[in-house]
């Protein structure tokens, strides 16, 4: 079409997509371009505003490398990553939550009841629970990956003073689908705000804090892999997570133990536990693969 105008440009774009366009790609493009064009028409976007947006995207590309993906961070602080999580979460399973940029492959295996705390500072926490299917049956074939910040609010791959793979492990589950690990209580921390995402946060009066959390990837044969996080009920940032990751069913309690009850049996750190320490009991429910 030659005389394209404000009203026809969206349909003209769609007509340009040839018959070889895969149906799902056509469907996604149709919706994406419809919403983009509506956005411009509804806001009356100016050239200056368009240029600012392009400059922000250019900066986002320039700061992105193998260690830092500013595009993902934009998706996170806009609520896009969490929205994708929410629409793909299954109501019969534990909610999923953002993966975040600090997961790395290759974390070492830790036996049931193993000690991840080792020489780390901070309050000692024993995290334990069970992995079950949505039908309630324990999943002894499950695998759990756990990663978290140290007491200083930094992940091992952000902090050269921490050993490689500090506070990261693949946890073994027992014959009853149960897991148990001794670790430290992580601290709240900020998402990186020294780049274009930070500019947006600062321009809109938003802080970059996330509530403290433990990250998990839980998988089992025949089940959908769950990427999620657990948050303590008393964290000051629970209601204002910069990346919208908190869900009611992901809130846990650190129960303070004063030594009047014996620690759970089978813990590698059993003899070294000094009071007070904390326990967290959390069960993961996985949806069956469709
Ligand atoms: C995190 O959980 O580590 C995280 C998630 C999203 C953006 C930045 C950090
Ligand atoms: Fe995190």
Write the CATH number for 238: 2.60.130.10
pLDDT tens figures, 114-173: 999 999 999 999 999 999 999 999 999 999 999 999 999 999 988 999 999 999 999 999
Ligand 1 proximity of 131 Cβ (cutoff 6 Å)? no
Closest atom, ligand 1, to C-alpha of 243: 6
Q: Which of 162, 136, 140 is nearest to 149 (CA)?
A: 162
| CA 100 to ligand 1 center in whole angstroms | 4
Same domain, 123 and 62: no
**Domain around 108:** 90-286
Chain-centroid distance, C-alpha 35? 27
Same domain, 149 and 18: no
Q: Whose CA is nearest to atom 8 of ligand 1?
A: 191
Ligand 1 proximity of 243 Cβ (cutoff 6 Å)? yes
Same domain, 55 and 94: no
Pocket test for ligand 1, best of 100, 149, 193, 213 (most atoms within 8 A of CB): 100
Same domain, 140 and 175: yes
Contact 267/126 with Cβ under 8 angstroms?
Answer: yes
Give me the tens of pLDDT residue by residue for the chain, a chain 290 residues long. 778 999 999 999 999 999 999 999 999 999 999 999 999 999 999 999 999 999 999 999 999 988 788 999 999 999 999 999 999 989 999 999 999 888 989 999 999 999 999 999 999 999 999 999 999 999 999 999 999 999 999 999 889 999 999 999 999 999 999 999 999 999 888 999 999 999 999 999 999 999 999 999 999 999 999 999 999 999 999 999 999 999 999 999 999 988 777 777 678 877 777 778 999 999 999 999 98
> Residue 100: nearest ligand to its CA?
1
Residues 6+ apart with CB under 8 A from 2: none
Contact 72/81 with Cβ under 8 angstroms?
Answer: yes
Beta bridge partners of 35: none
14, HSE (Cβ side, Cα atoms, 13 Å): 15
**Is 16 inside any structural domain?**
yes
| CA 202 to ligand 1 center in whole angstroms | 18
Same domain, 144 and 218: yes
């Amino acid at each position: 079409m030659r005389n394209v105008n404000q009203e026809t440009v969206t349909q003209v774009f769609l007509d340009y997509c040839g018959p070889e366009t895969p149906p799902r790609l056509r469907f996604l493009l149709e919706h994406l371009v419809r919403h983009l064009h509506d956005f411009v028409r509804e806001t009356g976007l100016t050239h200056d505003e368009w240029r600012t947006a392009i400059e922000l995207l250019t900066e986002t590309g320039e700061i992105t490398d193998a260690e830092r993906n500013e595009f993902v961070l934009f998706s996170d602080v806009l609520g896009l990553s969490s929205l994708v999580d929410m629409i793909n979460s299954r109501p019969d399973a534990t909610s999923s939550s953002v993966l975040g940029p600090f997961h790395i492959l290759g974390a070492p295996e830790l036996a049931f009841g193993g000690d991840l705390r080792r020489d780390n500072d901070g309050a000692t926490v024993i995290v334990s629970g069970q992995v079950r299917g949505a039908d309630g049956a324990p999943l002894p074939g499950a695998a759990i990956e756990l990663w978290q910040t140290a007491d200083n609010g930094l992940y091992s791959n952000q902090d050269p003073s921490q050993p490689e793979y500090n506070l990261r492990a693949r946890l073994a589950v027992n014959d009853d689908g149960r897991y148990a690990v001794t670790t430290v209580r992580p601290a709240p921390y900020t998402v990186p705000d020294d780049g274009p995402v930070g500019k947006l946060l600062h321009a809109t009066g938003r802080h970059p804090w996330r509530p403290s959390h433990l990250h998990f990837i839980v998988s089992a044969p025949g089940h959908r892999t769950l990427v999620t996080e657990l948050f303590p009920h008393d964290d000051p940032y629970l209601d204002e997570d910069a990346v919208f990751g908190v869900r009611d069913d992901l809130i846990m309690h650190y129960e303070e133990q004063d030594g009047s009850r014996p620690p759970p049996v089978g813990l590698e750190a059993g003899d070294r536990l000094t009071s007070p320490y904390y326990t967290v009991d959390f069960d993961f429910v996985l949806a069956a693969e469709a």
